[in-house]
A and B are shown apart, each in its own frame.
Chain A
Amino acid sequence: MKTLLKGLAGVAGAVALAVGGTASADKEPIKFALLQDFTAVYTFVSSEYNQGQQDYLRLINETGGVEGHPIETIIRDTANEPQRGLEAYNRARREGAVLVDFFSTPVSRAAVNRVLRDEVVMITALHGRGDASDGETFPFVFPMMATYWSQATLLADYIERHQGGLTNKRIALVHIDSPFGREPLPVLQELAQQKGFQLRSFGYPSPGAEQSATWSDVRRYRPDHVIIWGAGGGQQVSVREAIRNGIRPQNILSVVWLSETDARNVGGNHMNGVKRFEAVASGREPAVIQDIVTHVVEPGLGAGSAANVGSSYYNIGVATMAVAVEAARLAIREFGAPLTGDTLRRGFEMIDGFDARGLMPPVTLTAADHQGGGYGRVSQWNGQTWEPLTDWSNAFQEIVWHEIEKDAQGFRDGR
């Protein structure tokens, strides 16, 4: 009984401390809800991504917050299940979250109608609906980085400029057989017509642990270039199978989801020369990452293993929060506190040429364009790191926007 009472007293004390702690902060906190999948499908991808987000927000809080407002995070596991994501979303909304990031295509697709109704900003960097780039149809959804369509056109542009042109080439798109895997098809087909190259798509069954049958078909097609389109564990299997089937690593190009971890898992120097699209610089050189190392990681305030700092997915997480914090700052300066979902949205739409001090290409978001230009670059694995091969650029945005408008129209018609 005595120990129980002691325990209760301890809990009560902790509650008092916690309550006192928030009350003593200068200004009302801003709440960001990071409701992601840590346990089911995305596993190491989302834990590195989320670590980057938390470390960046910690950096902001350690250095004075957003115009004096600290940022509070609500972090929950959704296991990639829409119904759990929606519960976590409804709860976070009641707690006053103005921004949600599900980092899961199924959950964010199920939440689109709700965030539009509730006026909560949802960021869908590198996941979710590509047509949400149309800000007039989806005012509260921000893809804010290159959509999959922009990634596909940029990779095609790279082949055209740096790998001997597109005309009369054979290009194989080897993709996971899911809506995500088939997403680049329409823009690549359009490009194939315009540029006169042959395109064939090869699907492998989800989750992609077994792809050998698909790749012997690819070998018979004898492609000049191979674009691989998957995520998670399937990506390293694709690279390994491609090399086994005699495709030179130099001719393999990948969607954004190929990281240091995949390269380590493929092993040795087998992956040297493989190229990927990248939306955010990787490594620890960018100034923001340096700041995180000095102010957050070295004092021991980091959210996870220090080894992850500077990895591709970590930096993507940092970039998403850098843009969100910038939007919050602009919104508070323009409209004052408290920040609401609607003022935060308008803050996002005021972002002009923001590059997070060299971490990412300059992003400009407007009321019409929530993609921010579709910029990225191609980088190559050199055995140690991903080495950038080109400057930040975008390509064939008119084809991308044709798709965006077509699908956004479909969304409007469906209601």
Chain B
Amino acid sequence: MFYRLSGIHHTRYESARALWPVTADRRIIQGLLLLALAAPFLLSDLYLTSYMLPWLIWTAAALSLTLLMGIAGQLHFGFAAVMAIGAYTSIHLTRAGVPFELALLGAGLMAALIGCLFGAAALRVKGLYLVMATLAMQYLVEWTIINVPAISGGAQATLSTPDVTFLFVPLQSDGALYYTALLWTVVVTLLIMNIKRSSFGRALVAVRDKDFAASVIGVNPLRYKLLAFFASSFLGGVTGAVLAFCYYQAVTPEQFGFNVSIQLVAMVLVGGLGSVIGAYLGAGFVLLLPIVLTNLLAFVAQFDLIPISFNLLSHIPLMVYGALIIGVILFEPLGLAKIYDNIRKYFLVWPFRHTQS
């Protein structure tokens, strides 16, 4: 009915393996992309710069992490440190006069290099032990940034991003910053979707599910684990640079602290491990929901219907937020992406209910 599946026959592998084999899905994606492109004209600057922009950038970060955690099955609790390496590298490179486009590449490479160094631990340890190794990365990187003034920028430990141009457009106006972030997020999205349907992605999944079984069928776990760390850290490093230049415009070590790493892991888990749409939904949930709840409560509180102290008032969103996380995980352990998938599958065959899975 809604998806009009009748008459869709895949007679060639190419069409069956397309990113969106169903026409209706393609339409939805086209509509969303158009909305995203029109956002600077549709939304006020508040919603563009404080909601859409950070949401897109954090989605790119969650996508980079889900490549490692969801697809390759390697836990990483220090991903904020990877982004920090990217952010600091790009700022120092542009300050030294390197064009921004090359600085982004440098940010990715530096993050990938250091990320691989710590990822090498993954060749020996798994699961919780890998969590410890990546936590060590988080703290070591933070410590290095704080204790080397040449990196952090002296006593104030704040580095402002210099004025740069990206593809001949000066990164000044809200629109330019937004489109740069959108471009990067779209690139990462397409990349992850393509990795998932390529032999590289399937090798990663094989390593995730059982590394010695993968080794038996000819997938070299050592090589693919390292490749996963390299690719994911590269994307994370560039995302860190985009975050610094398009959003914060000044970096400090606190912006990449341990709590940010935990938030990123939460985005991936709440959204759904290994899912692309899950990264979007998870980032929105973890990043924007506390803000929305705080504003909603402040709106209700201004009517003075119930007298509550401002201290309690600021803690209520936290309680609601916690309850919502538990609620989502209980309702659908596979995350927000699975909730979307269930709804889609329901409408796929509506009004019948044959293919519920």
Are the C-beta atoms of B158 and A129 separated by less than 8 Å? Answer: yes
Q: Check: A20 CB closer than 8 A to any chain B CB.
A: no
Are the C-beta atoms of A87 and B156 separated by less than 8 Å? Answer: no
* B153, B160, B298: most-surrounded residue (chain A CB, <10 A): B160
Are the C-beta atoms of A113 and B147 separated by less than 8 Å? Answer: no
Are the C-beta atoms of A110 and B156 separated by less than 8 Å? Answer: no
Are the C-beta atoms of B146 and A179 separated by less than 8 Å? Answer: yes
Are the C-beta atoms of B162 and A84 separated by less than 8 Å? Answer: no
Name A285-314 residues within 8 Å CB distance of B.
Answer: 303-304
Point out the residue from B45, B154, B155, B259 that lies within 8 Å of A90, measured CB to CB: B45
B153-173 Cβ-contact flags toward A at 8 Å (1 or 0): 111111110110000000000
Chain B contacts for A407, CB-based, 8 A: 154-156
Q: Check: B250 CB closer than 8 A to any chain A CB.
A: yes
Name B108-157 residues within 8 Å CB distance of A.
Answer: 143, 146-147, 152-157
Point out the residue from B303, B309, B317 that lies within 8 Å of A77, measured CB to CB: B317
Interface SS of chain B: helix, strand, loop or mixed? helix
Chain A contacts for B294, CB-based, 8 A: 76-77, 84, 88
Name B307-346 residues within 8 Å CB distance of A.
Answer: 309-311, 314-315, 317-318
Q: Check: B6 CB closer than 8 A to any chain A CB.
A: no
Chain A contacts for B50, CB-based, 8 A: 86-87, 90-91
Query: In the complex the two chains form, what is the Cα distance from A414 to B290 in whole Å?
Result: 33
Are the C-beta atoms of B250 and A110 separated by less than 8 Å? Answer: yes
Query: In the complex the two chains form, what is the Cα distance from A405 to B54 in whole Å?
Result: 33
Are the C-beta atoms of B315 and A79 separated by less than 8 Å? Answer: no
- Given A18-B302, A415-B162, A47 and B254 contact (CB-CB distance below 8 Å): no
Are the C-beta atoms of A47 and B303 separated by less than 8 Å? Answer: no
- Given A38-B315, A183-B155, A177 and B160 contact (CB-CB distance below 8 Å): no
Q: Check: A106 CB closer than 8 A to any chain B CB.
A: yes
Are the C-beta atoms of B49 and A90 separated by less than 8 Å? Answer: yes
Chain B contacts for A87, CB-based, 8 A: 50-51, 54, 291
Point out the residue from B152, B291, B295 that lies within 8 Å of A179, measured CB to CB: B152
Are the C-beta atoms of A414 and B291 separated by less than 8 Å? Answer: no
Are the C-beta atoms of B249 and A14 separated by less than 8 Å? Answer: no
- Given A39-B315, A90-B45, A109-B250, A84 and B255 contact (CB-CB distance below 8 Å): no
Are the C-beta atoms of A106 and B54 separated by less than 8 Å? Answer: no
- Given A109-B158, A130-B156, A177-B146, A50 and B310 contact (CB-CB distance below 8 Å): yes
Query: In the complex the two chains form, what is the Cα distance from A186 to B157 in whole Å?
Result: 13
Point out the residue from A54, A105, A106, A410 that lies within 8 Å of B154, measured CB to CB: A410
A180-208 Cβ-contact flags toward B at 8 Å (1 or 0): 00110110000000000000000000000
Residues in chain B within 8 A of chain A (CB atoms)? 44-46, 49-51, 54, 95, 143, 146-147, 152-160, 162-163, 247-250, 252-255, 259, 287, 290-291, 294-295, 298, 302-305, 309-311, 314-315, 317-318
Question: Can you show 26 pairs from A to B with CB atoms below 8 A apart?
Answer: A14-B303, A14-B305, A15-B303, A38-B314, A75-B298, A76-B298, A77-B314, A79-B290, A86-B50, A90-B46, A90-B49, A90-B50, A91-B295, A105-B254, A110-B250, A129-B156, A177-B146, A179-B155, A183-B155, A186-B155, A407-B155, A407-B156, A410-B154, A414-B95, A414-B159, A415-B160
